[in-house]
Structure 1
């Protein structure tokens, strides 16, 4: 479970025509190389020179502008395993090569594989621990250097060496927690009573008031088509995040994730928990045709930093929080649009923000508009490409419905193409996107019961719980145009069965 080497390099800018790349940092662990040589013998493939590795990696990832279609690299039959790739060099092929991409930067490492793969069948990635450890190390290294430019990284080479010496001494990742590694680099090790056992991932103990901060963030992703032959689709999912500042080396927290007694009580289907969770109750009680959600009891030892305690999904949502219709008619020079939004009565009518954005693609900017909203206000984005309807903090309390009519005039299309040019969205093929956020509410009714929170060893603490409900990818397609959708090939399925 060791790494043969770690590299950081710059990547060419998209569309710039510049294919130059700089190697900012490299570290090869010779002890691991010697071990691989002993294990593989004649099948051992040494690491290539740094520049050759950079060239091969950029070619494999398609950053080389001059490279044309290559069957080995670009064919549809090739199985994608990102963030793992294979590169071919003059000394042989290297696999697995783990990568993490950021704008302008590329982090890369090659983990050691002790099983023989030369000329034989490769083991599944899940059976190569070095891949997971290498990816985790690259992610924490990217977080450490996130705010730095390539020039600043060059001036902090010594810091990167020090970081890797604590996170992965001799090429073996032992600590991939950013705060923990930084604490070790600053030599801020806190003394611990002999009666307590301090974990390696928590070198600094908390001193001060005991506090627990819990946040439930729930998301609704939806696509509405407003067509009889196309069904709307949506997903409801969420996360429970935690920040615990507790005295002691290994505090233990137990809590219940339950539901509010009023409003929606939708069961949580899947619960994906953080590795720090020691036990979790994931049972769902079924009574006849109804499903009664039961509290999920979690017991965990929290890390020092803010972390996601669990992810969950909800599949029993029957209707959307906001039903909408969007109708656009006209030509390239002028459009008439009508939009309606209806708030579900079971959703809290109190928004931190709520607005409908209507982008227009493959057209010129909006040069004039007339609108008659029955609620809220309208405006144009600074680039005059998006028509924005700000609904405000509340829908009308009686009807819970708002509507807008508008007439828009467009200027000539600008050249070259802008970010608002999409190949499908031409003519009347367009959509509106709804953005909203509701605080102290979740559509599923999910909440953390404050009375269930227990800490061992016992300590008085300040508990803060927050709930928020947000839209993401909440689109309403124009009912007068074509839409992007897909359906399973039913005829093909019948032929197979």
Structure 2
């Protein structure tokens, strides 16, 4: 409806001067139609200047408390004001003070003003802000120190557009520094297999892969953009339950909807999985995921029988053919809970070697870096225990009796003893 550029002049009688104003009659006609009985006309420059300076607390008489302006019910958290003019209120007026200049406009509201509509529903307010900010940038470029550098408007606009392109990005608060040096991106993928195996026909084995993608990005620039794309191997299982780092800027909705909780879920997304992000300086986990692989990597059979003070154990392991037979290390931990220290062990292994930790009541079967060509190995033997001492021996309320062979989150239960049963996802 109208635009004003006002210079703030403290100490003068009016405390300001209208340097430029423009009214738009065609828009004013539309305001009359839209606002109806709540329509308030645009005042002349003099009354508008006085009312605006008073509302902004920039006039000479703004030292006294004014109930209509300074009460707690009138705390203004925006740059949108209502100006008392001629017994009525002109609203909304967008105005802000910057570098001694007041930029103001009265945007069009395409609805009645009583009751007063929410600011977010008035598109003219955001448009007014954009107009005023554009005016300020223009004057900064064309007349930075009060002297006109270029009277050609198009040149000034081109300069503004060019400056907006080359303007350096603002350092975000969460990024404490920048990297200088050779650019490089390091990515590692770690997968843990959680498994429960029972070797019983009436109890189904369960397993699940839980993975994490870790990144370290050494890149110059304040806000570099990086995209990591993950592709599944041949016959690979889709990723599910994906959680991403807050630095990820966008994500395909199909990636987020795939879930392992619902067994009937058919929304599996097979990739590629693309993660665009602006990396922090430190190493971080880009995403976590789960995957329902067809079979566990190692199938196991474990049996234990108690005879007097001895335990007879049998362990058979088979590496699945789909798993690459090459490891950094592979070992099996066989703990004996709620018993005394190991006093004697007789055993036979088809591959690898066995270490005995007597005070910990623990056997560690060191397989090494690969299985034999047959992909199958076995361990059998007897273990004798001494008197129980609760101070040193491992104790577990769940494992009462001789129940499980354990390696991290990979459990193979004694096939001759009862075992707690898991249902569905191991993450539940």
Aligned counterparts, 1:218-233, within 5 A = 218-233=191-206
Equivalent residue, structure 2, for 1:421: 395
Equivalent of residue 413 in structure 2, options 470, 477, 490: 477
**How far off is 1:328 after superposition?**
0.5
For residue 406 of structure 2, give the secondary structure of its aligned residue in structure 1.
Answer: strand
Equivalent of residue 211 in structure 1, options 181, 184, 187: 184
**How far off is 1:282 after superposition?**
5.0
Equivalent of residue 311 in structure 1, options 271, 288, 293: 288
Instruction: Give yes or no for the alignment of 1:270 onto 2:241.
Output: yes
**How far off is 1:196 after superposition?**
2.4
**How far off is 1:238 after superposition?**
0.7
Distance 1:338 1:485 in 2: 22
Distance 2:176 2:337 in 1: 53
Provide closer, same or farther for how the CA distance between residues 254 and 411 of structure 1 changes in structure 2, counting only shifts above 3 A. Answer: same
Aligned counterparts, 1:94-493, within 5 A = 195-260=168-233, 262=234, 264-283=235-254, 293-315=270-292, 317-331=293-307, 333-381=309-357, 383-397=359-373, 399-414=374-389, 416-418=390-392, 420-428=394-402, 430-434=403-407, 472-485=408-421
In structure 2, stretches of 5+ residues that fail to align are 1-71, 73-165, 259-265
Distance 2:171 2:267 in 1: 47
Distance 2:356 2:405 in 1: 14
TM-score (norm 1): 0.48
For residue 250 of structure 2, give the secondary structure of its aligned residue in structure 1.
Answer: strand
Provide closer, same or farther for how the CA distance between residues 332 and 253 of structure 1 changes in structure 2, counting only shifts above 3 A. Answer: farther
Provide closer, same or farther for how the CA distance between residues 348 and 209 of structure 1 changes in structure 2, counting only shifts above 3 A. Answer: same
Distance 2:285 2:269 in 1: 26
Given that 1:332 and 1:410 are in contact with CA atoms closer than 8 Å, whether structure 2 keeps it comes out as no
User: RMSD value over aligned CA atoms?
Assistant: 2.6
Residues 305-364 of structure 1: CA deviation (Å, up to 9, x unaligned): 11111111113x221110000000124511111100011100010011111111111211
**How far off is 1:272 after superposition?**
1.3
Provide closer, same or farther for how the CA distance between residues 303 and 310 of structure 1 changes in structure 2, counting only shifts above 3 A. Answer: same
Residues 68-87 of structure 1: CA deviation (Å, up to 9, x unaligned): xxxxxxxxxxxxxxxxxxxx
**How far off is 1:290 after superposition?**
11
| Greater relative contact order, per chain length (Cα 8 Å cut-off, separation 6+) | 1
TM-score (norm 2): 0.55
**How far off is 1:203 after superposition?**
2.5
Provide closer, same or farther for how the CA distance between residues 368 and 299 of structure 1 changes in structure 2, counting only shifts above 3 A. Answer: same
**How far off is 1:382 after superposition?**
5.7
Distance 1:328 1:367 in 2: 18
In structure 1, stretches of 5+ residues that fail to align are 1-37, 39-192, 435-471, 489-497
Given that 2:183 and 2:220 are in contact with CA atoms closer than 8 Å, whether structure 1 keeps it comes out as yes
Provide closer, same or farther for how the CA distance between residues 311 and 291 of structure 1 changes in structure 2, counting only shifts above 3 A. Answer: closer
Provide closer, same or farther for how the CA distance between residues 333 and 396 of structure 1 changes in structure 2, counting only shifts above 3 A. Answer: same
What is the number of residues matched between the two proteins? 252
Equivalent residue, structure 2, for 1:75: none
Residues 145-184 of structure 1: CA deviation (Å, up to 9, x unaligned): xxxxxxxxxxxxxxxxxxxxxxxxxxxxxxxxxxxxxxxx
Given that 1:367 and 1:384 are in contact with CA atoms closer than 8 Å, whether structure 2 keeps it comes out as no
Given that 1:328 and 1:338 are in contact with CA atoms closer than 8 Å, whether structure 2 keeps it comes out as yes
Distance 2:199 2:240 in 1: 28
Bigger-Rg structure (1/2): 2
Distance 1:369 1:359 in 2: 14
